[in-house]
Structure 1
Amino acid sequence: MPSFDDDHIGTRIREQRRLARLSQRELAARTPFSYSLLNQVECGARPATQNFVAAVATALKVDVTTLTGQPYVTELQRDRLAELVRPIREALDLYDLGTNPDLVARPTATLVAESDRLCAEVRATHLRNAARALPGVIAELTHAAWATPSTEAWKALASTYRTAHDIAVKLGYYDLSTVALDRMAWAAERASDPCLGAVRQYMRALVYFREGEYTIGQRLIAAGHNIVGQAQEGREGSAVAGQLHLGASVIAARANNVTGVVQHISEARKIAKRIGDASDVHWLSFGPVNVALHRMSAAVEMGQYDSALTQARRVRIPSALATSRRAHFLIDRARTEMETGHTEAALDHLMQARKAAPEQTRYHPGARETIRGLVHTARRTPDTLNYMAAWVGL
């Protein structure tokens, strides 16, 4: 069995708890979780679920990333990804500087197509490719939108800001993701596109979901519904509304609101049944399959692992589903398999996630914690598990 260093979520929780001058029992009393679980997580005997980490972070009044250790700088530097973040940060700062006299931008139509290509790269989990090209496209679109303002240019610029958010989240730079969402709102307002504005509220809600602030997340979802209600009736607005319901379902699950989960999944299913697959709308992957995946994710969030596993085994993932969404499902399923005692299956699904989306899987906190849990429970650690643990930096 590999000997992990002492830098993991449990040790960070212990450090922050001591800084707050709380005993384990006092901290546990401020969360929905037991003293026993907190004790096991702190000593490394149990992996920390994202729900658990969010609740503890809220109780300690610290950011979730303080406990997860994100971004995972050592691995990012080794993969030469950390060096791609600063140019993105700088490009986001160009938004109010107007035209750049030293820049010759490509035609707007070309840049619109390029912004769509970058979205596709992220969905395919080609994070390095997208991160490398993104700053230049943002700079060109910023110049073009100021030089010759048009709905198309502002929408494309908003799309690149959304891509910056997606990359930042997947690499663990949550401060940068917040800046990107602010820029997205700024561009969407100039594009006068309510659907884009509603998508931005959906993404903001997920930020608060990760931080354990479920009431704010629910309010943002409601605001998104109000915004998308201003759009013309049609497939685009329906798909965005459906995705808002899916976001609300996982927020309700994290808050252990079973009634809310059922209601939002039901509304999303009705929309998906009416419009079918709408994966092309704002790159949201909305459709019947995504509804099923969110229903399973909600069960995982509520700790209903037997139900989640039953659902997972029934899901048939189409080849056209975005790789990023497929990898997320595989990581969720691996966690479910581990929690129900199917450790070999859990490792197999983590390996599948790694094969499908190596960059996303390596920097996914859920994948790292599941690997840690598998190592702890294994009587004899298989070479494959040793390899996975070393690969994610444990």
Structure 2
Amino acid sequence: MPNRIGSVGRRIAYYRSVARPKMTQQQLADAACVALGTIRKIERGERGVTDDTLDTIAAALGVDPSRLIADREHVASRIRDALPNLSAAIASYDVPDDGPVRPLPELRAAVAQATAWRLAAQYLQIARTVPNLLAELARAAQAPEGAGNPELAELLVTAYRCADSVAYKYGARDLSARLIELMRWAVLGADDPLLSAAVSYVRTETFFAARAHAPGLRALEQALDACPAPVGRPAIAARGALHMRAAVIAGRAGRDDAADEHLAEARALGDHVPEGIYQGTAFGPDSVRIHEVSVAVSLGDGHVQRAFDVAREWAPPRDLPAERRSGFYIELARAQLWGGLMDDAFESLKVARRIAPQHTREHPWVREDAATLRRLKRADAETLSNFAEWCHAD
């Protein structure tokens, strides 16, 4: 235990020193609402740190909590342990327990924070906070003053999406499907066709999980038919995101023509808006480039040159969401593996891990590719074995 305590303190001190701008111990204490003396003792390895305190320090530093502890399995266990609370919260979506309800601006800020965690692939923070947030939003919607409020419906949809990101990434596919159905139910109260398009984007997860690619493509094409005309940035982004998603699932359905058509539409729409977050989804020229790699991988190993062409000239900028950037390198690694570029594939997996460790560790392709690399012994044996053990590769 003393070694573990010391290693946590050293990591906190390191991330505090490399923060931009650099943080003093007092600034970290203030940001994390922790006593200065406590921060000093933790960094010196003189006292342990509870999970809650670790999470607040990580949030203050702007890093994933898993970066501060040596036992990465501990983070995954905490997320999985929280899934029953998430199930309980949605089981009572229409009959919530009594409790406090914050004013609407505070609820809006809490949902925005959860969305920021989702985009940053910080699933532990979502797992810890969203179950209570969903219950509170349900109480707000059931209250007389909240009934029929479209903004509350929008906040519920957005919070369900955050919860779904944890369920889907951590393999709780039935829970994920239930959350998506609740999104489809709640969005009716928002009366916002652009938000409905975002829900259709997320719903594609259920088709990916079931390998029902042809029905998934049909569902997205129906969503495109219902999507408002691309007038104004939000509407352009909504259509563009649906085309990106349709291109990928068309590739997995073996529909090369449809994949290319949807990707071309996404590219044309992406040229008309700046990269940004629209209805909770990243869209713009950079996101389209990432999906060019996704489509190449979806079409199979005969199309890897398309992925290499993108990666040769471009890399995701740091201001893109961490989840999307790590996904780029995970898919690039698969293309490199198919192309016989074993060392490059391992480097891409390591970059994905640095960007978003929680996302990378739970991705099934990462486990498959790490297992293949280890079996072929095409990288440093010890380093590769450590990586494979980290992501539980067979």
| 1:285 partnered with 2:282 | yes
- Contact persistence 1:249–1:264 (CA under 8 A): yes
Corresponding residue for residue 364 of structure 1: 363
Counterpart in the other structure of 2:80: 82
Aligned residues: CA RMSD: 1.9
Q: Secondary structure at the match of 1:113?
A: helix
CA distance in 2, matches of 1:227, 1:287: 21
Residue aligning to 1:137: 133
Which residue number in structure 2 is paired with residue 306 of structure 1? 305
- With over 3 angstroms needed to count, the CA separation of the structure-2 counterparts of 1:213 and 1:114, relative to structure 1, is same
**Given residue 362 of structure 2, which amino acid in structure 1 is its aligned partner?**
Y
Which residue matches 1:41?
Answer: none
User: Is contact 2:244-2:266 (8 Å) kept?
Assistant: yes
| 8 Å Cα contact 2:173/2:209 also seen in 1 | no
Q: Deviation of residue 80 (structure 1)? A: 2.1
Tell me whether 214-223 or 244-253 shows the greater mean CA deviation: 214-223
- CA drift at 1:368: 0.5
Q: Which residue of 2 aligns with 1:118?
A: 114
How far apart, CA to CA, are the structure 1 residues paired with 2:242 and 2:378?
43
Letter matched to residue 245 of structure 2:
G
CA shift, 1:379, in A, is 5.8
The Cα offsets for residues 338-387 of structure 1, whole Å up to 9 and x where unpaired, read as 22222122111111111111111111001001101101111675211010
* CA pair 391-219 structure 1, distance change in 2 beyond 3 A: same
C-alpha displacement at 1:330, in angstroms? 0.9
Structure 2 counterpart SS, 1:274: coil
The answer to whether the 8 A contact 2:342-2:379 is kept is: no
Note the C-alpha offset of 1:298: 0.8
Structure 2 Cα separation of the partners of residues 120 and 270 of structure 1? 27
Paired positions, count: 317
SS of equivalent to 1:280: strand
Shift of residue 307 of structure 1?
2.5
Structure 1 contact 206–247 (Cα < 8 Å) conserved: no
- In 1, the alpha carbon distance for the partners of 2:231 and 2:137 equals 29
Q: Distance in 2 between matches of 1:207 and 1:128?
A: 22
| 1:221 and 1:248 in contact (8 A); partners too | yes
1:159-198 mapped onto 2 (5 Å cutoff):
159-198=158-197
User: For residue 296 of structure 2, what is the amino acid of its counterpart?
Assistant: A
- Label 1:146 to 1:366 Cα distance change in 2 as closer, same or farther (>3 A): same
Structure 1 position 174, deviation (Å): 0.9
Q: Give, as a single letter, the amino acid of the residue that structure 1 aligns with 2:289.
A: A
Secondary structure of 1:285's aligned partner: strand
Q: Work out whether residues 217 and 251 of structure 1, in 8 Å CA contact, stay in contact via their aligned partners in 2.
A: yes
Q: Secondary structure at the match of 1:79?
A: helix
Contact 1:154 1:188 in 2 (8 A): yes
Pair 1:127–1:263, CA change in 2 (3 A): same
Rate the CA distance shift 1:107–1:342 in 2: closer, same or farther, 3 A: same
1:59-98 residue pairs with structure 2 within 5 A?
79-97=77-95
Deviation per residue, 1:294-345 (Å, 9 max, x gap): 1111111212123312222222311110000001011111112222222122
C-alpha distance in 1 between matches for 2:317 and 2:180: 30
Distance in 1 between the 2:360 and 2:241 partners?
Answer: 23
**1:257 pairs with 2:255:** yes
Where does residue 271 of structure 2 map in the other structure? Answer: 273
The TM-score with structure 2 as length reference comes to: 0.76
SS at match of 1:81: helix
Instruction: Give 5+ residue unaligned stretches, structure 2.
Output: 1-71
Q: Cα distance 1:379–1:245, how it changes in 2: closer, same or farther (>3 A)?
A: closer
The 1:344–1:236 alpha-carbon spacing in structure 2 relative to 1, beyond 3 Å, is same
**2:294 matched residue in structure 1:** 297
Pair 271,380 (structure 1): closer, same or farther in 2 beyond 3 Å: closer
Q: Contact 1:331/1:350 (CA < 8 Å) preserved in 2? A: yes
CA distance in 1, matches of 2:166, 2:130: 10
Residue 214 (structure 2) pairs with residue 218 (structure 1) = no
Return closer, same or farther for 1:380/1:264 CA change in 2, 3 Å cut-off: closer
Q: Distance in 1 between matches of 2:295 and 2:384?
A: 27
Q: Which letter maps to 1:206?
A: E
1:218-260: per-residue Cα shift (whole Å, max 9, x none)?
Answer: 121022123322x894221221111110111011111222211
Q: Work out whether 1:242 is the aligned partner of 2:240.
A: yes
d(CA) in 2 for partners of 1:380 and 1:276? 39
Cα gap change, 1:258 to 1:317, in 2 (>3 Å): same
Alignment partners' CA distance in 2, 1:352 and 1:261:
27
Quote the Cα distance in structure 2 between the aligned partners of 1:118 and 1:359: 16
TM-score normalised over the length of structure 1: 0.76
Gapped runs of 5+ residues in structure 1?
Answer: 1-73
Give per-residue Cα distances to partners, 1:64-119, cap 9 Å, x unaligned: xxxxxxxxxx9688632211101111111222116x4x311111111012111101
CA contact (8 A) 1:201 1:223 kept: no
Is the 2:343–2:379 contact (alpha carbons within 8 Å) kept by the matching residues of 1?
no
The equivalent of 2:157 in structure 1 is: 158
